[in-house]
Structure 1
Amino acid sequence: MGRTPTLSFDRGTLILHPPPRGKAWLDFATWDDRVERFRIPANRYRELITALEAENVTFCDLAKAFVELELTARVVMQPYPHQSEALVAWQRAGQCGVVVLPTAAGKTYLAQLAMQVARRSTLVVVPTLDLMHQWYTHLVAAFPDLEVGLLGGGSRDRTAILVATYDSAAIHAETLGAQYGFLIFDECHHLPTDFNQVIATYSLAPYRLGLTATPDRSDGRHTDLDTLIGAEVYRKTAEQLAGNALADHEIVQIKVKLSQSERDRYDRLTAIRNNFLREAKISLGGMQGWQRFVQASARSQAGRRAMLAHREAKETALGTDGKLRVLADLLAQHSPARILIFTNDNATVYQISQEFLIPAITHQTPVKERHEILKHFRSGDYKTLVVSHVLNEGVDVPDAGIAILLSGTGSTREYIQRLGRILRRGTNIDKRAILYEVIAENTSEERTSQRRHGEDWTNAHKQKNPINVVQMGIDYKEKDSERSTPLAAETPTQW
């Protein structure tokens, strides 16, 4: 009688030896001459087990090191309908897949509910240290009877529930791969990179959940999420959740006219750029056109002049004095409400901070100082905060109700994340959030605004959906000398 086949885990892969009877498992295996064994990618574990059991193959599973957990939650809330629906959709997909929900829609609590369904040792992967500590705080409160660990920022725990940064999880992927039966990827659009995706491919976890507000990537690799985590199983937008899980909100677009000197400067600079693009037969209609412009700008003096003109024209539009006058008006109008001001560059952040005496946070702000500023903002000691990109992702600002977007990129993800900063209802069930988008009229900022709003913006105009878009054409041009369900029924798990 032959030996019983044994399945073992080896540095992110599975080894099956001796070869079992049947043929289905061969679809996953390749022969490795170095060890004279069949080797299988770890992320095919679930399919492999299913195939072996379907052919009634007797085998010894020494690969999995994850354990079943008794998860009794101490943080229990009535789920919003969208959370219950997403949980059921994820279960019906075999407890694998991606859920797309806007910022502030309760993705962390949804993940907690999923953990209670999967009941397996769990690895939560997040992009930032801020998010790592936020998840840690939530999970410690939810499951105080279990040890919750951290991997990243100097911590190297090995616990049944572990919260790790993408960087740290990728570095330790070969050793983590067999330890966890459930993977949760927060902001899962970070996963499909050559460095990060080993977290998923080196893991045999049969259960996987991806969470994001914006799964799409400019490089198109978001399609890899289908194999790394599972297909998208549920999606809701901020507009669909407004008035229920999220605060009602409106988007007010304010167009500011450039002063005459700013207009003359902007037109002159864009003419220099456009003349060069015309002669070089380059169109800036897409990413490929921009890449061609960057390459051409490095080859000639004319190209360098055109790129410099492009940047100076952009700075003229982003930094027009009219925007600061609009800002002063909005701050006075909404005082003493809690207000977040977003810009696209640090120089403008510091300028606003100095002129309006407003606390500022950029990537240059020391960690302890940033936490101190955010603490005072949450407590209400600070009513207004100006930031660049650091609050786009991974920072919980629950009580802000007004956001002023003075400048930004064309990224839809950045826009959704900034809007999400003000959508938490908190204790105010009647909260109405407002996002002011201040753009320079008849400049490239208008096209940038259209790109970041994407299809939802277009549909709002065509279909008049719940997005309340108000356009305010304000002439702030002055003389150049003036400045101023309850938890869904649990499904049995077999892994």
Structure 2
Amino acid sequence: MDPSKPLIVQSDLSVLLETNHPEFDKLQGKLARFADLVKSPEHLHTYRITPLSLWNAAAAGMALEEMTSCLQQYAKFGVPSSVLSTIRKYTKRYGLLRMLHVGKELFLVSEDTVVFKEICAYESLQKYLKDARGERAIAISPSYRGILKQELMKLGYPVEDLASYRSGEFLEIPWREEGGMDEPFQLRDYQKQAVDAFQQVGHGGSGVLVLPCGAGKTVVGIAAMADASCATLILTSNVTSVKQWKREILSKTGLTSEQVGEYNGSTKEIRPVTIATYQILTYRGSKEAEFSHLRLFSEREWGLIIYDEVHLLPAPVFRATAEIQATRRLGLTATLIREDGLEGDVFSLVGPKKYDMAWKQLETMGWLAKVTCQEVRVPLSITDRDRYHASEARHQFRIAGENTAKLEVIDHLLKLHPDEPTLIIGQYIDQLEEIAAHTGAPMICGSIPHERREELYERFKKGQLPLLIVSKVANFAVDLPDAAIAIQVSGSYGSRQEEAQRLGRILRPKQHGENKAVFYSLVSADTKEQDFAMKRQLFLVEQGYQYEISSWNKA
């Protein structure tokens, strides 16, 4: 035993990390590469090593020896042999089964004949497997490429897909020379590394790049398009994001507006580069009707499909993606966390994690603002307290979220930051309307026309609006680079992905003053909202942010 070391590694694959250790920041970054943070109380964080966390680490290039040596070097009581053998077992499974083309045929292959024989004996796989070619290869139908990877993933055998991809329709995508300069647009070093990780000569073509909000995921996607030089379908979360992608493509490349189409509820243009929303792809008139817009996947010879905010991918799009495995697929996200637990389907159908850049690392480099995260616990107002205790459990969370006592805290914070561009973000429209009436600031929600939203966003960016109230429609892909203060007044049930997106609204580096921002979360004390806030806090701690908690006392 060495009490000076900060890790306790347990036989159930959980790892405890002491937060007050001098090497906490360094170890936190290492552990996050191959383990998932599950609890983050003040003094001791808990990580869990899972098969998927190990496979994503292996796919991103982390060696088995890096994982085991990290644990062995810092473990207070040593590392149980069962943990080391489990890590070795699952890490070695990545790449044990591979898919590749030989001539025009698609094969599932393995050098381990014992495992291969076991796999081929599974009754659930029989309909996907065709002719055996010796003891190490079996032919499969290209139409089963995706679903077979899903099935093998469920059995605990991730497939390394090295089969080739179709070229798609050729499209030259040159970078635009900006501002009359001789030099074309330049990628930042980490953006180039992300694109290179996706391309991987001989191994590229599918995978997920994890980059913080504000790190330029759109630019990375455009760079992948330019390298592939092919017709591209881009799927994203909402119409605002569609327009943002189009603006970036037209400003950064030589493509014309006639070559870039929008496909959503009001506009359905199918161009060499087409940007669509997940909502339109999953729209149908009734539960029995077909998803008619999914035909967009086959409308052109797409050479690349980009899944923006891949952690939001809806189930029908997963099913369509399983059928187009011969097309290159790029997932972009700030977090691999899915509230529905389908991270394994992202791995098998879109691709494994190929690149992961830590938020704090980009902050240190100056590419993101330095953010302070503060949770303010607000007692329920007298009226809300009586309603809360008289209500059923399912209504208590909303009552706590809409706590009217939060208005006083908002007033205090606005006085504390009088000259800072500020966003107030919330879940409930009634609450946001009350705040808008109280502060006199405009509000953006789903019922506001897109033209009006764009106008308000533009005024905020120009400094003409110091305060903007936004609902969850602003969670995704809204570019508000100068927002320096965010006040979260209510949120979803412990959603870590929502916390990631809301924090992202203030992460972009500031053009004026100090490169700093503050993320406030107002939480009703001693309520269900406080319990769920602890889950959202996990994401912030996972990314290396100091999370301060204070109690609101009316002066």
Q: TM-score, normalised by structure 1?
A: 0.71
Gaps of 5+ in 1: 8-18, 30-38, 54-62, 270-307, 478-495
1:202 aligns with 2:323: yes
C-alpha change, 1:403 and 1:189, in structure 2 (3 Å) is same
Gaps of 5+ in 2: 1-102, 106-129, 148-158, 179-183, 283-291
Select which of 193, 197, 206 maps to 1:85: 193
- Amino acid in structure 2 at the alignment position of 1:179: E
Question: Whole-Å Cα distance in 1 between the matches of residues 401 and 341 of structure 2?
Answer: 29
CA shift digits 1:114-156 (9 cap, x unpaired)? 1222222211111211111111111122233452222223433
1:454 aligns with 2:532: no
Shift of 1:70: 2.5
Select which of 274, 283, 303 maps to 1:162: 274
Q: Which residue of 2 aligns with 1:151?
A: 263
Question: Whole-Å Cα distance in 2 between the matches of residues 421 and 242 of structure 1?
Answer: 14
CA shift digits 1:374-419 (9 cap, x unpaired)? 2222222211011221111132222211001112121011111011
Shift of 1:84: 2.5
Q: Which residue of 1 aligns with 2:507?
A: 423
Alignment of 1:35-50 (within 5 A): 40-41=143-144
Select which of 122, 133, 141 maps to 2:232: 122
Shift of 1:262: 4.7
State whether residues 540 and 547 of structure 2, in contact with CA within 8 Å, keep that contact through their aligned partners in structure 1: no
State whether residues 500 and 540 of structure 2, in contact with CA within 8 Å, keep that contact through their aligned partners in structure 1: no
1:184 aligns with 2:296: no
Question: Whole-Å Cα distance in 2 between the matches of residues 165 and 323 of structure 1?
Answer: 35
Alignment of 1:340-355 (within 5 A): 340-355=423-438
Alignment of 1:463-478 (within 5 A): 465=544, 467-476=545-554
Shift of 1:314: 3.2
Q: Which residue of 2 aligns with 1:434?
A: 518
Q: Which residue of 1 aligns with 2:460?
A: 377
CA shift digits 1:41-84 (9 cap, x unpaired)? 4769xx9x987x9xxxxxxxxx9682233321116444333322
Q: Which residue of 1 aligns with 2:416?
A: 333
Bigger relative CO (Cα 8 Å, ≥ 6 apart): 1
State whether residues 400 and 422 of structure 1, in contact with CA within 8 Å, keep that contact through their aligned partners in structure 2: yes
Question: Whole-Å Cα distance in 2 between the matches of residues 417 and 175 of structure 1?
Answer: 28
State whether residues 167 and 230 of structure 2, in contact with CA within 8 Å, keep that contact through their aligned partners in structure 1: no
State whether residues 192 and 222 of structure 1, in contact with CA within 8 Å, keep that contact through their aligned partners in structure 2: no
Identity among equivalent positions (%) equals 29
Question: Whole-Å Cα distance in 1 between the matches of residues 194 and 329 of structure 2?
Answer: 14
State whether residues 126 and 187 of structure 1, in contact with CA within 8 Å, keep that contact through their aligned partners in structure 2: yes
CA shift digits 1:21-52 (9 cap, x unpaired)? 989997322xxxxxxxxx734769xx9x987x
Question: Whole-Å Cα distance in 2 between the matches of residues 429 and 70 of structure 1?
Answer: 40
Q: Which residue of 2 aligns with 1:69?
A: 171
Question: Whole-Å Cα distance in 2 between the matches of residues 316 and 176 of structure 1?
Answer: 43
Shift of 1:254: 1.5
State whether residues 182 and 205 of structure 1, in contact with CA within 8 Å, keep that contact through their aligned partners in structure 2: no
- Amino acid in structure 2 at the alignment position of 1:225: V
Shift of 1:87: 1.9
C-alpha change, 1:25 and 1:79, in structure 2 (3 Å) is same
- Amino acid in structure 1 at the alignment position of 2:221: A
Question: Whole-Å Cα distance in 1 between the matches of residues 144 and 368 of structure 2?
Answer: 41
Select which of 420, 444, 466 maps to 2:528: 444
- Amino acid in structure 2 at the alignment position of 1:96: S
Q: TM-score, normalised by structure 2?
A: 0.64
1:366 aligns with 2:442: no
- Amino acid in structure 2 at the alignment position of 1:81: D
C-alpha change, 1:64 and 1:102, in structure 2 (3 Å) is closer
Select which of 348, 357, 361 maps to 1:240: 361
Alignment of 1:22-37 (within 5 A): 27-29=139-141
Question: Whole-Å Cα distance in 2 between the matches of residues 320 and 360 of structure 1?
Answer: 19
Q: Which residue of 2 aligns with 1:110?
A: 220
Query: How many correspondences in the alignment?
Result: 397
Q: Which residue of 1 aligns with 2:120?
A: none
Question: Whole-Å Cα distance in 2 between the matches of residues 191 and 68 of structure 1?
Answer: 27
- Amino acid in structure 1 at the alignment position of 2:483: A
C-alpha change, 1:385 and 1:145, in structure 2 (3 Å) is closer
Deviates more, 1:118-127 or 1:107-116: 118-127
Question: Whole-Å Cα distance in 2 between the matches of residues 120 and 135 of structure 1?
Answer: 17
Q: Which residue of 2 aligns with 1:12?
A: none
- Amino acid in structure 2 at the alignment position of 1:70: E
- Amino acid in structure 1 at the alignment position of 2:414: L
Question: Whole-Å Cα distance in 2 between the matches of residues 154 and 77 of structure 1?
Answer: 32
Question: Whole-Å Cα distance in 2 between the matches of residues 65 and 318 of structure 1?
Answer: 50
| Structure with max Cα Rg | 1
- Look up the SS of the partner of 2:317 in the other structure: coil
- Look up the SS of the partner of 1:156 in the other structure: coil
State whether residues 195 and 220 of structure 2, in contact with CA within 8 Å, keep that contact through their aligned partners in structure 1: yes
C-alpha change, 1:89 and 1:445, in structure 2 (3 Å) is same
State whether residues 175 and 185 of structure 2, in contact with CA within 8 Å, keep that contact through their aligned partners in structure 1: no
1:413 aligns with 2:497: yes
- Look up the SS of the partner of 1:427 in the other structure: coil
C-alpha change, 1:81 and 1:128, in structure 2 (3 Å) is same
C-alpha change, 1:349 and 1:145, in structure 2 (3 Å) is closer
Shift of 1:420: 0.4
C-alpha change, 1:328 and 1:455, in structure 2 (3 Å) is closer
Shift of 1:158: 3.2
